[in-house]
Homo-oligomer: A and B are copies of this chain.
Amino acid sequence: MGQNPGMQVSTDPIADDQPADRRPTGRRSGEESAGRRPRARRGEGDRLRAEIVAAASAILAETGEPAELSLRAVARAVGVAATSIYIHFSDLGELILAVKEDMLARFGEVLDTAAAVAGDDPQQRVRARAHAYYDFGLRNPGVYQVMFSSQMVSTPNRPAYYIGRPVFERVRDDVAAALGESGPAAELAAVHLWTALHGTITLRLSRRNFPWPDLDTQLEDLIDRLLNQRR
């Protein structure tokens, strides 16, 4: 964890004001086609699995388009035959689930790091988590949308409902600490925070020209309301 080349972040969160129409999903020129990666040594076959997941994250981070995440595109990016994916994943769905789990783990780490930097004040920790949340989402739209999209949600053997749950729980715990109360009220406040953050990210991505209020103003005001402070 931590060395995935696709996870570094672009500087401008919402650059393009003329967003992509549903264009014909051709092979995109900017792909790192990597050309025939060398085969792993014996016993190291699992390295390909990690490379596949990393390449998938990179595609999402670079294109910003969840629709680009096809089995063949991933194989091209790794520099491997399309069939090689099946050595490690029984299915396109399995691959995508693995990608989601990997991205959610990283996402959770980003939030945890932000909270750790903020220190011990639970209020500040909540604000830091919220800031890191929308920052990540707006800078990595493809990654974010795949993590939380409703498509491709579960496979028979690994139910999807579990993935991402720990991320929520750590936010909720900080909210509970900030409220000084850990019952349903904290749960509700955390749900409000999550849904509003999620809505903010996805709507700002899809309605770029809407006259949105300043992002920090909006989020500060929201957290004020949730943590029950009037300033």
A residues with a Cβ closer than 8 A to B are 18-22, 65, 67, 92-93, 96, 141, 145, 148-155, 159-161, 164-165, 168, 184, 187-188, 191-192, 194-200, 202-203, 205-210, 212-213, 217-218, 221-222, 225-226
Q: Which residues of B contact A160 (CB under 8 A)?
A: 207, 209
Q: Which residues of B contact A22 (CB under 8 A)?
A: 92-93, 96, 151-152
Q: Which residues of B contact A20 (CB under 8 A)?
A: 151, 153
Instruction: Select A191's contact among B21, B198, B209, B212, beta carbons within 8 Å.
Output: B212
Instruction: Select A225's contact among B164, B200, B226, beta carbons within 8 Å.
Output: B226
Which label, helix, strand, loop or mixed, suits the secondary structure of the A interface? helix
Instruction: Select A19's contact among B18, B153, B187, B196, beta carbons within 8 Å.
Output: B153
- The complex is assembled from copies of this chain, and their number is 2
Between-chain CB contacts (< 8 Å), 10 pairs: A21-B155, A22-B96, A145-B150, A148-B206, A149-B206, A160-B207, A191-B212, A195-B195, A197-B199, A198-B203
Q: Which residues of B contact A149 (CB under 8 A)?
A: 206
**Complex Cα distance A184/B221, Å?**
11
Query: Who on chain B is nearest to A150 by CB?
Result: B206
**Complex Cα distance A18/B226, Å?**
33
Q: Would you give the shortest CB distance from A47 to chain B, in whole angstroms?
A: 26
Q: Are B195's CB and A200's CB within 8 A?
A: yes
